[in-house]
Amino acid sequence: MAEATMMFPQDFLWGTATSSHQVEGSNTNNDWWVFEKQPGKILDGNKSGLACDWWQNAEADLDLAAEMGTNAHRLSLEWSRIEPEPSVFDMAAIERYRQILQAMRERGIEPMVTLHHFSNPLWLVEKGDFNNDIIVEYFQRYTAKVVDTLGDLIPKWITINEPMVYVFMRYLDNVFPPASRNGFGAGLQAVRHMLHCHAAAYHTIKDKYPAAQVGAAKQLALFDTRPEDGFFQKWWARRISWLFNDVWLRAMHNGRFPRLLGGGKIKNLAGTYDYMGINYYTRHYLNFSLRGDLLANDWGAGAVVSDGNYGEVYPYGLYRVIKHILPYNKPIYITENGLPDAADKLRPGFILDHLRQIWHAISFCFPVMGYYHWSLIDNFEWDRGWTQRFGLIEVDPETQTRTLRNSGRLYQEICQSYSISSDMTARYAPDLLPVMFPGERPLPFAAPGNAR
C-alpha cells in the first residue's frame, strides 16, 4: 500500500525549547536555588545543581539539535545572571548569552528568547517582585539592557512565560518559591503588574527593532466537564477557563483588566502582541470547590496518562486551543508541547498525533507557523526535580551523558522531511496507525475526540 503523507509548509519552524534555570546550572542568585535547599520543596529532595551544564557547554546540545534537523529553538535568559544586583549588569554573562545565540544562528537555528521564565533575582524578591509597583521600571530596565546588547541576534521574543501558571503556582498553590505575600488578591495584583511589564518590554523591543516579533507564551488549558456534571460544575469550569485563559489574552488585545477583577485600563498595553504563543499539554477536570485542590486529576476510564499522573494525553485539545485564539487574527506558534515519559513509550505517538492536529489546522488555513517541542533535553522540572523526563534527548544529571531517544529519531525524520507519514507511524507508533491514517487499515475512523 502506498505511503500516506501529511506535508507541512516549507517555511514551517521545527523547534525545541528549554529554560535557563532548568538547563544552565549553578544559578545561585535566584529564588529557585534557595527554594530547592528547603526540605520537602522538591520531589525526592532533588536540586538543580549543574542541571544540564548549558552555561559551560550549551553548544554541544545545539549540535545535537542541528543534527536533528531543527531550525528553531526557544530559550530563556536568566535575569539573575544578567543583573545580579540592582542596576549592576554582568557583561561577562551577557557575552556568554551572545555566544550561545551566535552558536544557534551558526547552526541554522533561529532563536526565540524568553525574558522571564519563572525565576527571579533574589534582590527582586526582597523588594516584593510582582507585588511592588516598581517591578515595571525594573523589568523595563532589564529588557532595555538585553535589547541593547543582544537584540541584533533575536528575531522573536517572549516577554513572560505562562503568567497565569506562575501566579497560580506561586500565590495560590504554594509549590513555587513564595512571593512577599500570597492569596487571590495578591495574585491578581501580580497579574496586573505582569501585564504592565509585558507592555513596557514590548515597546522597548519594538522601539529599537520594529521588525522583531514580540509576544507572550500563554499556557492554554482545557477545563472540561463530564456529561453527568450539573449546571454549577459547568458554570465553574467556564469561570476558571475565563480566568486562566482569557483574562490575559483579552487584556493584551484591548488593554483592559476585567471589571470583575478590579477593572481599569493598562497604559500602552492594547495590541502588544505580534503573534500568539501557545503552550499546550493536557486538559483538566475541576473540583467545584473554593477550598482544597482545584484540579480533580481524575482522567476517567480509558485515558492515557503520562508519568507522575502529570496529565491525560489528549492531542485533539491542541486543535481546540488553536481554534480558541483564531479571533485574535495573529500568527500562531506552539511554543511548548510535550509530556513526561522516561520510558519513551508514549512520546512518539504523542508527537505524531499532536502534529496531526497542527496539520489539520493548517489545512484549514489557520496561521500556525511553528512548533517548539518541550523539551530538547531532560532538564530540572521545577518542583518535580529530576523525577519527570520531557526530553527528546535523555540526560543523566550525574554524568551529563546524552542519549537520543527513539522519539528524538522520529522528530529528526519529521524535521528533515517537513512531514508526518503512515510509514513513520507504522515504525514508531503502530497502534496509532488506524487513528492517524485510517485508510491504511480496514478499521473504522476514530473521531478526533477519541484520539490517543
pLDDT interval class at 212 (50, 70, 90): very high
Q: In angstroms, what is the C-alpha Rg of the chain?
A: 21
CA atoms within 13 A on the CB side of 39: 0
- Give one DSSP letter per residue of 381-444, joined into a string: -GGGTTSS---SEEEETTTTEEEE-HHHHHHHHHHHHTEEEHHHHHHH-GGGHHHH-GGGTTSP
Closest Cα partner for 383 from 52, 49, 43? 43
Q: Which CATH superfamily is domain 5-450 in?
A: Glycosidases (3.20.20.80)
Per-residue cell: 135: 517591578
pLDDT of 237 over the 60 cut: yes
Q: Report pLDDT digits (tens) over 296-338.
A: 778 888 899 999 999 999 999 999 999 999 999 999 999 999 9
pLDDT over 90, % of the chain: 88
Reported as a pLDDT band with limits 50, 70 and 90, residue 452 is very low
Q: What is the pLDDT of residues 339-395, one digit of tens each?
A: 999 999 999 999 999 999 999 999 999 999 999 999 999 999 999 999 999 999 999
Q: How far, in Å, CA of 158 to CA of 193, rounded? A: 16
Measured between alpha carbons, how far is 315 from 360 in angstroms, rounded to an integer?
12
Q: Which tens digit of pLDDT belongs to each residue from 146-200? A: 999 999 999 999 999 999 999 999 999 889 999 888 999 999 999 999 999 999 9
Terminal Cα-to-Cα distance of the chain (whole angstroms): 24
Q: Which residues contact 78 (CB under 8 A, 6 or more apart)?
A: 20, 21, 24, 27, 30, 93, 119
* Per-residue model confidence (pLDDT) at position 292: 60
